[in-house]
Structure 1
Amino acid sequence: MTTVRLGVTQTLAWASSYYLLAVLAGAVGRDVGISTSMVFGAFSVALLVAAGVGPYAGRIIDRFGGRPVLIASNLIFAAGLAGLSQATQAAHVFIAWAVIGVAMGGGLYEAAFATAVRLHGRDARRTITGITLFAGFASTIGWPLSAYLEGTVGWRGACVSWATLHLLIGIPLNALLPRAGNSEASTQAAAGKEEGLGLSVSQQRRAAVLMAYVFAVTWFISTSMAAHLPQLLLASGATLAAAVGIAALVGPAQVVGRVIEFTFLKRAHPLLSARLATLAHPLGALCIGLFGTSAAAGFAVLHGLGNGILTIAIGTLPLLIFGANGYGQRQGFLMVPARIVQASAPFLFGIAVERWGAGALWFSAILGLSACLALVVMTADMRKAPRAAEAN
């Protein structure tokens, strides 16, 4: 039941934050009197705030478990969304999203993964995968629901509705999570008995840098595609209808990727899964380069598959390499660069699209290959570790 509870609350958290403005940004801007780009600028502030909050939220989860942190995030989400519903000027929008950013720092995947690790120790991989399976439908549920609410009660009413869901659904479900320390796994994790691969200090630092780089690159690519994929497909020669339809394949493909991880790759080493996943986007870009628009659907599916698996790798790789002890705080620090580049990705990749058109895909493909290379280097380091036999 832990997986179900965390999966449902993560779906709620993502739908009411990360995916909210895709539907409501235009209405917010018109009503408040600011541009849509400024509304998304406020969202970028939320991502930066989340980057700063993440390590502290993770440290609290390491000490006390995820239950109090996730409940607090529901309260803060509700406060931020309620504040956004009352916005009448740009400053109000930015302040509201800064508050929501605090909730994102303690209420999205990193916090849920840390909660799972605190409860289950090194056996948390299956729970982490299950959480992402549920939350993979956040946009599928969130976008239509936000659109429906905007059409019936307006964007302000939609924000209030999401805030109410955090109070009526999020808090009760998170309150039902087991208390940390009730299981042998969580006791071992808290006591530091669940170690990683036994790397030396220098190897741990190198692995942390490489891992942070991989996470930053993959989040940059994911956010860039989310913002610009239809435009890229148009630049490659697709019609508007085809571009929108093909872009819509990414979401289901992500869920399929997580199902593949949950079934066929569940016994595979996480580093192998991650390496294969980082190659999916470059392979899709190569297909478009070789075959043009006719391969666009294949690109969208490959990108989605890889992105879905990498979401799980973000949770499982730190657990594998560093162990369960101190997982939450470490995860928060590892994700700081990813949050920062995520905030800047739409703008930076937008410049690449303006200059190179569909050729911008080669830029993202090279980044994907560099992430795969970083994982290859990490794999070589793991083989040198005392417990290398478990890494392959």
Structure 2
Amino acid sequence: MSLIAALGTSQTLAWASSYYLVAIVADPIARDLSTSTTVIFAAFSAALMISALLGPRVGRTIDVFGGREVLGLSNLLFAAGLLTLAASPSPFVMWLAWLIIGVAMGLGLYDAAFATLGRIYGESARSAITGITLIAGFASTVGWPLTSWGDAAVGWRYTCAAWAVAHLCLGLPLNLIILPRQRASGGQTHGANNPHVPMDRAMWLLGFAFAAGWVVSTGMAAHLPRVLEAAGASTREAIAAAALVGPAQVAARLLEALFMSRYHPLVSARLSTLAHPVGAGLLLGLGGWLAMPFTLLHGAGNGILTIARGTVPLAVFGSVNYGYRLGLLGAPARIAQAGAPLAFGVLIETYGSGALLWSSAICLSALLAFCAVHEKPSPPDEALG
């Protein structure tokens, strides 16, 4: 239990100070450095690309040595990137800071945490994965208000520096002290140096499904209040409804832990892709007064999809090369995430609330992919044949 609490806390810190940081600090950074917010978000997109490229190698390393040192290194890199960002005198240094943070994200976000749990618990890691997502589901709830308060009180530079100190004083000790030190066996070392992970039908389908789901999640995260207003909600209603995403994610994860653990994780994954289209149908069909039900359904789908990203590959393929497999499956999702805010911005400009028809179609395509995955694929040798 202490391991789950420690890893959940360090994940909350990692997400709050990276993924959820840019939405708050983009405007003040742009003003200070005499550049545009587009440049800031472009740097953040580059960070996501770097984290995607690092994913398979990071997963392979965790398969061999465990995640203790990898996650500890991520805290040092988060601190270095945030301190560089805090001291940025120019857009060039700001870009450098986000590139460092991108490396830290590749080493320290959910995929690395899930791989660490898979290395420790093997195929029984499902409840532990759910546990840390329950805690880290509050990252936006914690991160956005703290960053906003810090920016208003002491400015964005000191706020970024404070997040860096939190990584050194909280995240690093939690990862190094609580996580167990693990040694690689000869078999694990060989498997990681020569990973036997064929890109079979199930891998392609899951890679597509997770990428589709995270495109919608990221696009909505960047534009949710705007979409709700386009659907007829007032500004006040849109902001109030958008604030429910975090609690909805956590509530859905709790329900998954209590009631869905008896079923195969693919069942939860399929349900997660239905939530957004159902909510969008209600919103588009009946009007903006259903902004809150839509947001609750959308947030619930996101919450369960996050768990499925860790539990479905473990249940379908087993724990051998689990970290490396997560890295392969997560790379398309992170690359797609990088362009999602821009793409959905264009869709909203063009179609208004009709952009929800596009997002719903993407979610339904993910549902079809999940439905096409069998609970147990062919053995690796058969898949290669």
Band the TM-score falls in, shorter-chain normalisation: over 0.9
- CA distance in structure 2 between the aligned counterparts of 1:325 and 1:256, rounded to whole angstroms: 31
Counterpart AA for 1:180? Q
Q: Hey, what does 1:285 align to over in structure 2?
A: 280
Counterpart AA for 2:29? V
Deviations 1:156-197 (A, max 9, x none): 11111111111111111001211225xxxx97994899xxxx
Displacement of 1:384: 7.2
Q: Hey, what does 1:140 align to over in structure 2?
A: 141
- CA distance in structure 1 between the aligned counterparts of 2:341 and 2:115, rounded to whole angstroms: 28
- CA distance in structure 1 between the aligned counterparts of 2:20 and 2:377, rounded to whole angstroms: 42
Q: Relative to 1, partners in 2 of residues 1:293 and 1:92: Cα closer, same or farther, differing over 3 Å?
A: same
- CA distance in structure 1 between the aligned counterparts of 2:376 and 2:113, rounded to whole angstroms: 30
Q: Hey, what does 2:130 align to over in structure 1?
A: 129
Specify which of 320, 337, 352 is matched with residue 342 of structure 1: 337
The answer to whether 1:297 aligns with 2:292 is yes
Q: Hey, what does 2:382 align to over in structure 1?
A: none
Specify which of 160, 178, 181 is matched with residue 180 of structure 2: 178
Once the two structures are aligned, what percentage of the paired residues are identical?
Answer: 52
Q: Hey, what does 2:237 align to over in structure 1?
A: 242
Q: Relative to 1, partners in 2 of residues 1:258 and 1:324: Cα closer, same or farther, differing over 3 Å?
A: same
Structure 1 stretches of 5 or more lacking a match? 194-199, 387-392
- CA distance in structure 2 between the aligned counterparts of 1:270 and 1:295, rounded to whole angstroms: 30
- CA distance in structure 1 between the aligned counterparts of 2:122 and 2:376, rounded to whole angstroms: 23
Mapping 1:1-392, distance limit 5 Å:
1-176=2-177, 177-181=179-183, 190=188, 205-379=200-374, 382=375, 385=378
- The answer as to whether partners of 1:189 and 1:324 remain within 8 angstroms in 2 is no
- CA distance in structure 1 between the aligned counterparts of 2:164 and 2:217, rounded to whole angstroms: 27
Q: Relative to 1, partners in 2 of residues 1:66 and 1:131: Cα closer, same or farther, differing over 3 Å?
A: same
Q: Relative to 1, partners in 2 of residues 1:189 and 1:245: Cα closer, same or farther, differing over 3 Å?
A: farther
SS in 2 for 1:18: coil
- CA distance in structure 1 between the aligned counterparts of 2:176 and 2:74, rounded to whole angstroms: 12
SS in 2 for 1:119: helix
Alignment root-mean-square deviation, CA: 1.9
Displacement of 1:290: 2.1
- The answer as to whether partners of 1:118 and 1:189 remain within 8 angstroms in 2 is no
Q: Hey, what does 1:390 align to over in structure 2?
A: none
- CA distance in structure 2 between the aligned counterparts of 1:301 and 1:149, rounded to whole angstroms: 28
Q: Hey, what does 1:196 align to over in structure 2?
A: none
TM-score by length of 2: 0.93
What is the number of equivalent residue pairs in this alignment?
A: 373
- CA distance in structure 1 between the aligned counterparts of 2:301 and 2:152, rounded to whole angstroms: 35
Moved beyond 2 Å, runs of 4+: 186-193, 382-386
SS in 2 for 1:274: helix
SS in 2 for 1:335: helix
Counterpart AA for 2:278? L
- The answer as to whether partners of 1:192 and 1:325 remain within 8 angstroms in 2 is no
- The answer as to whether partners of 1:121 and 1:188 remain within 8 angstroms in 2 is no
Q: Relative to 1, partners in 2 of residues 1:353 and 1:376: Cα closer, same or farther, differing over 3 Å?
A: same
Structure 2 stretches of 5 or more lacking a match? 380-385
TM-score by length of 1: 0.91
- CA distance in structure 1 between the aligned counterparts of 2:363 and 2:230, rounded to whole angstroms: 21
- CA distance in structure 1 between the aligned counterparts of 2:22 and 2:197, rounded to whole angstroms: 42
- The answer as to whether partners of 1:191 and 1:325 remain within 8 angstroms in 2 is no
- The answer as to whether partners of 1:284 and 1:298 remain within 8 angstroms in 2 is yes
Q: Relative to 1, partners in 2 of residues 1:351 and 1:331: Cα closer, same or farther, differing over 3 Å?
A: same
